[in-house]
Amino acid sequence: MSGKRVLVTGAAGFLGSHLCDRFIAEGCEVVGMDNLITGDLKNIEHLFPSKSFTFFNHDVSNFVHVSGPLDYILHFASPASPIDYLKIPIQTLKVGSLGTHNLLGLAKAKNARILVASTSEIYGDPEEHPQKETYWGNVNPIGPRGVYDEAKRFQEAMTMAYHRFHGLETRIVRIFNTYGPRMRLNDGRVLPAFIGQALRGEDFTVFGDGSQTRSFCYVDDLVEGIFRLLKSDFSEPVNLGNPDEITIREFADEIIRLTGAKTKIVYRDLPHDDPKKRRPDITLAKKVLDWTPKVHRSEGLEKTLAYFKSLDRDELYKKEHKHFDKFIKR
> In the prediction, which pLDDT does 323 show?
44
Q: Is-contact 73 103, C-beta < 8 A?
A: yes
**Residues with catalytic function:** 148
Position 274 scores a pLDDT of: 78
CA distance 20 to 28: 9
Res 329: pLDDT: 38
Residue 82 has what pLDDT?
A: 85
Predicted pLDDT at 319 = 56
| Domains of the chain as residue ranges with CATH | 5-178+217-240 (3.40.50.720), 184-215+244-278+295-327 (3.90.25.10)
Whether the bond into 49 is cis, omega within 30 of 0: no
pLDDT of residue 61: 98
Q: What is the crossing angle of helices 297-309 and 190-200, to 10°?
A: 50
With b for 16 or more beta-carbon neighbours within 10 A and e for fewer, the 247-283 pattern comes to ebbebbeebbebbebebebeeeebbbbbbebbbbbbe
CA distance 38 to 185: 12
Fill in the DSSP letter of residue 130: S
Strand runs (DSSP E) across 113-236, as ranges?
113-119, 170-175, 178-179, 204-207, 213-215, 217-218
Give φ, ψ of 23 to 5 degrees: -75, -30
Closest CA to 300 of 237, 248, 251, 267: 251
Which is it for the CA torsion 265, 267, 273, 279, positive or negative? positive
Question: Do 283 and 49 meet the contact criterion of CB atoms below 8 Å apart?
Answer: no
Distance CA 327, CA 330 (A): 9
Residues of the chain with pLDDT under 50: 321-330
What local confidence, expressed as pLDDT, does residue 326 receive? 44
Q: What is the pTM of this model?
A: 0.94
Under DSSP, is residue 294 helix (H, G, I), strand (E, B) or coil?
A: coil
DSSP state letter for 318: P
Alpha-carbon distance of 35 to 49, in angstroms, equals: 20
Specify whether the CB–CB gap between 273 and 208 falls below 8 A.
no
The rounded distance, in Å, linking the Cα atoms of 66 and 72 is 12
Q: Which are the contacts of 296, defined by CB distance < 8 A and separation ≥ 6?
A: none
Beta bridge partners of 152: none
